[in-house]
Amino acid sequence: MSSPRTTRRPTGERQEELASAALELIATRGITALTTRALAQHVGITSGAIFRHFPTLDALLDAVVARVERLLAGTFPPEGLPPRARLARFVEARSTAVASQVGVLQLVSSEQFQLALPPAAVARLQKCIDQTRVFVVSTLRAGQADGTIRDDLDAKALAVIVMGTTRMLALKRGGADPRAVQRALAKLLEPVAAKRGR
């Protein structure tokens, strides 16, 4: 009787699995724990098998960053929506997506992680952060222009609140119901005149 063999997966599928597992290791144990040996054990393959899919650890890290880019890009809502709806959809989509891959937050917000990444990967992550900031600020300004978002506060200041709320929802911290937090954020963004009329 022969021993069972692991079915080989197509390279693209295995690369996605390895990038996802690397993000999980980063989230739970930190980037310094991300070694080919640790990753191989986590996934259940040999260290050598990793190099069939990625020639170097930097190539693997590049794939991790590509996964983060795709994940974050998928959270931007359609442009045709009104600004408040776009913002609400973004907060929900981004916090949900990032919650499912907590390593994403570590990669985009920690200097330690950025120091460990290849420079090109750091630049790509910074671009993701910049795109998010530009989206949130421009959506807030569009809402201020059409009267659906308060205009007594600077859009850049409000963006910090929106992005911070999104981050905390992704981390599932604070003990509050996510829907209640989203309602509170929506109320905070209401135009001042609308609040006075109540």
Rounded to 10°, the helix 155-171/178-189 angle is 180
Given CATH 3.40.50.410, say whether it is the number of domain 66-196.
no
Residue 58 above 50 pLDDT?
Answer: yes
Residue 1 above 60 pLDDT?
Answer: no
What is the CA 125 to chain-centroid distance, rounded? Answer: 10
Q: What is the mean pLDDT of residues 54-77?
A: 90
| Tens digit of each residue's pLDDT (9 = 90 or more) over 73-117 | 999 999 899 999 999 999 999 999 988 876 788 777 777 667 778
11-64: which CATH number, 3.40.50.970, 2.30.30.100, 1.10.10.60, 2.40.30.10?
1.10.10.60
| Tens digit of each residue's pLDDT (9 = 90 or more) over 159-178 | 999 999 999 898 876 667 88
Domain coordinates in residue numbering, the chain: 11-64, 66-196
Global pTM value: 0.82
